[in-house]
A and B are shown apart, each in its own frame.
Chain A
Amino acid sequence: MAQIVAAALASHAPLITGRPEVSKPEQRDRLYAGFHELRRRFAAARPDLIVMLVNDHLQNFPYSNMPAFCIGLAKAYDAPSPGGAGLMRIPPRKVAGAPEVGLALLESGLAAGFDFAYSYEIESWDELSVPLHFLEPEGKLPVMPVYTNCGAPPLPTPRRCHAVGGFVGGFIRSRPAAERIALVATGGISHWVGTPETGRINPEFDHRVLDHIARGDVEPLLDLTWADIERDAGNGGQEIRNWIALLGAVPGWKGEVLAYEPVAEWITGCATVWVHQ
């Protein structure tokens, strides 16, 4: 049977790699150390596939067709694309997809009442590229992303995201093959992007979320409304839906916060969290 051998939460922001020099060296060093420790544990778990719970930034899904949950069925993903590479200062590269696994998840979901959308072509932005740059720099492992709408309200509720994550976790565990699957959720925590409050970070909210995750106390996060998150964590904070989905996939698991830094220069509350039994 397939196993979930690793689970990680990691913030994504293009400036984490794109403009390291503008951040305070001590903050940057602590956060990068968190990413490096995540990478060490990730490699030790020897996954052979990464299921990524992520969100689009209006790079792919337009307002003419906006999926709440979308499975990537591409053969490969730009991570980053040539267009995004300059901003993120990560050389453009392709990482392999896992369309057979994605299709199986899609069909399984439709049969169970989880009506995912799907896409055969996705141009990734920082949601895949930045965390993979740290976690899997060689780019050898295939990736199967599930995109949740975190950026174009109205958004799915955190409780629904948790249920979708739970379905994805159950799907993985039910696969007959002896696959070793890693789960990685990216995004968040608090940040205001493109709004009049751009640059604001709310460490109080971030610590509250991280404390809940560390205790495995997910329930209060599921009751957060769009308005709660928008007020306390900004439009970027809506990306905690990805984290909540991952926690749904591994019920009872707890987070170990490896790093948290509210990096003003990267306009994001940045964390790396190892999630374990």
Chain B
Amino acid sequence: MTMPISYALNKVLTAIARQHVLKEHLTDADLAGHDLTEAERAALKAGDVTSLYHLGANPYLIRRVFRARFRI
């Protein structure tokens, strides 16, 4: 197993995914109370799906939340 797993990222994305809403990027309000690194915060606030993947966010959650960021 070589894939990184960030619990903090997945926790935020799970909370948003369960609202059944799509986002271009997350806001400070979305991230309030979550224990994230600076790189994680930046990627979430930018909706940077590639960085999120490499930082250890689950790709199903990335897709669920940031669907609008994908070409297809």
Contact = CB atoms under 8 A, between A and B. Distances in A.
Interface of A: 57-59, 62-64, 83-84, 151-154, 193-196, 198-199, 226-227, 230, 235, 264-265, 267
Given A63-B7, A198-B63, A265-B72, A153 B1 contact: yes
B interface SS class: helix
Given A64-B11, A151-B60, A199-B70, 12 more contacts: A57-B64, A58-B64, A62-B14, A63-B58, A154-B1, A194-B61, A195-B59, A196-B49, A198-B71, A227-B2, A235-B60, A265-B72
A104 B64 CA distance: 34
A18 to B, nearest CB: 11
B61 A58 contact: yes
Contacts of B49: 194, 196
Top 6 nearest A-B pairs (CB, nearest first) are: A194-B59, A194-B63, A83-B20, A194-B62, A63-B10, A195-B59
Nearest to A234: B59
16 contacts: A58-B17, A58-B60, A59-B17, A63-B10, A84-B20, A151-B58, A152-B58, A153-B1, A194-B63, A194-B70, A195-B53, A195-B59, A196-B49, A196-B50, A199-B72, A267-B72
Interface of B: 1-3, 5, 7, 10-11, 14, 17-18, 20, 49-50, 53, 58-64, 70-72
B3 A153 contact: yes
A227 B3 CA distance: 10
A230 B49 CA distance: 18
Contacts of A267: 72
A169 B23 CA distance: 42
Nearest to B10: A63
A248 B71 CA distance: 37
Could you say which of B5, B7, B20, B70 has the most chain A C-beta atoms within 10 Å of its C-beta?
B20
B13 to A, nearest CB: 8
Most-contacted residue by chain B among A57, A63, A194 (CB, 10 A): A194
A69 to B, nearest CB: 18
Contacts of A58: 10, 14, 17, 58, 60-61, 64
Contacts of B5: 63, 153
B45 to A, nearest CB: 18
A230 B60 CA distance: 14
Given A151-B58, A153-B3, A264-B72, A194 B53 contact: yes
A235 B64 CA distance: 14
Contacts of A235: 59-60
Nearest to B72: A199
A268 to B, nearest CB: 11
Contacts of B70: 194, 198-199
Contacts of A153: 1, 3, 5
A103 B64 CA distance: 32
A242 B17 CA distance: 24
Nearest to A22: B72
Contacts of A154: 1
Contacts of B59: 193-195, 198, 235
A108 B61 CA distance: 34
A226 B64 contact: no
A24 to B, nearest CB: 14
